[in-house]
């Protein structure tokens, strides 16, 4: 067994990490911190975790907790992991950071999108970007991974193979995505109460959502990204449109069949990616580490329509983090991760 700790375990992604690790054949959670919940039994905050963690209590963070630990998940809000990352990396433990602090390649980009200076720019080049299906070679052999954001995971997994194949024009990418309320975190907010979200759909972060930076980083092109909050607990559906590349016809990439073939070939050996003609749905991915993808070419408007669906807390966050930790620790990549969604 490998010992792992979770820093920031009292949030939704932390709870999802604890759920996934409880069924993992090789990972054992030896500490779970939550400074705001220190002293609180895990089972009191999350009764769903009572069976696997009947006596676990949230602890305050202390470097002494790292003794004998093989890997650490950091599940803190953006800006928070910078203060402790230097200390973590010098201990030799493998680190997966679920926050945004080390996803972008330079401090200037972080300040542009997050509105504050990056205090540990010297550590940025130590992190591999953790969108595993696209950056596996960078992750294997690394000591630290910056887990991707949930929205970029859905959009980039469906668009990147089309960009790499030269099938779409990257000058006019549009990503419209909807997300469940758990993406806003566990903390109470006026716009995420039941009365605020029930029977409502809201667009937010217009022209400036932080995840735009990751989408553009992976695709190497500008994109217009608009997120929407919808009244469900978890899940993301990203609907992306683009024009076919000028050479798409010459390459034979101007039909739905050909575009589906591009996705199918790109992900032929990927256990967590489903490529199908079926329209993806969030519920089909619920609780799983799978992402469901499809693509169409509309000859009437000469538009490519690409859609991805995933569970924002699993494949969009904690499931991907476990997948990355498996790689960092030399374990089977699929260990502890399911591909089947919960239905109904």
- pLDDT, tens digit (0-9, with 9 covering 90-100), for 273-311: 999 999 999 999 999 999 999 999 999 999 999 999 999
Buried residues in 279-290 as b, exposed as e (16+ CB within 10 A): ebebebbbbbbb
Residue pLDDT, tens place only, 257-268: 999 999 999 999
Domains of the chain as residue ranges with CATH: 2-148+315-328 (3.40.50.720), 151-312 (3.30.360.10)
pLDDT in tens, 211-226: 999 999 999 999 999 9
Q: Which of 95-104, 189-198, 205-214 has the lowest mean pLDDT?
A: 189-198
150 is catalytic: yes
Weakest mean pLDDT among 194-198, 269-273, 281-285 = 194-198
Is the previous residue joined to 344 through a cis bond, with omega within 30 degrees of 0?
Answer: yes
Average pLDDT of the segment spanning 137-142:
96
Question: For position 187, what pLDDT does the model report?
Answer: 85
- Rounded-to-integer distance, Cα 54 and Cα 68, Å: 23
Is the separation of the CB atoms in 223 and 212 below 8 Å?
Answer: yes
Looking at residues 139-156, what average pLDDT do you find? Answer: 97
Which pLDDT belongs to residue 188? 80
- 143 alpha-carbon distance from chain centroid: 19
pTM over 0.85: yes
Mean pLDDT on 38-45: 98
């Amino acid at each position: 067994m490998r010992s792992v700790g979770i820093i920031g375990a009292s949030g939704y992604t932390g709870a999802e990490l604890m759920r996934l690790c409880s069924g993992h054949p090789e990972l054992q959670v030896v500490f779970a911190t939550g400074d705001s919940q220190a002293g609180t039994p895990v089972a009191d905050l999350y009764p769903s975790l009572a069976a696997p963690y009947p006596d676990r209590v949230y602890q305050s963070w202390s470097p002494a907790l790292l003794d004998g630990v093989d890997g650490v998940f950091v599940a803190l809000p953006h800006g928070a992991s910078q203060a402790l990352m230097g200390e973590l990396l010098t201990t030799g433990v493998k680190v997966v950071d679920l926050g945004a602090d080390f996803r972008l390649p330079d401090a200037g980009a972080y300040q542009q999108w997050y509105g504050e200076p990056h205090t540990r720019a010297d550590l940025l080049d130590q992190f591999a970007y953790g969108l595993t299906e696209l950056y596996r070679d960078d992750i294997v052999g690394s000591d630290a991974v910056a887990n991707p954001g949930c929205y970029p995971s859905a959009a980039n997994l469906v668009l990147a193979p089309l960009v790499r194949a030269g099938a779409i024009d990257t000058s006019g990418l549009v990503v419209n995505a909807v997300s469940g309320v758990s993406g806003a975190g566990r903390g109470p907010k006026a716009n995420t109460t039941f009365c605020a979200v029930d029977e409502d759909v809201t667009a937010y972060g217009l022209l400036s959502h932080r995840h735009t930076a990751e989408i553009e980083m992976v695709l190497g092109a500008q994109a217009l990204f608009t997120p929407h909050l919808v009244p469900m607990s978890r899940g993301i559906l990203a609907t992306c449109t683009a024009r076919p590349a000028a050479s798409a016809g010459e390459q034979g990439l101007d039909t739905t069949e050909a575009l589906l073939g591009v996705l199918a070939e790109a992900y032929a050996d990927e256990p967590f990616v489903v490529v199908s003609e079926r329209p993806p749905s969030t519920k089909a991915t619920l609780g799983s580490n799978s992402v469901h993808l499809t693509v169409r070419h509309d000859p009437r408007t000469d538009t490519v329509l690409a859609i991805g669906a995933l569970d924002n807390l699993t494949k969009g966050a904690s499931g991907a983090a476990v997948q990355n930790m498996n790689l960092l620790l030399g374990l089977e990549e699929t260990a502890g991760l399911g591909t089947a969604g919960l239905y109904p």
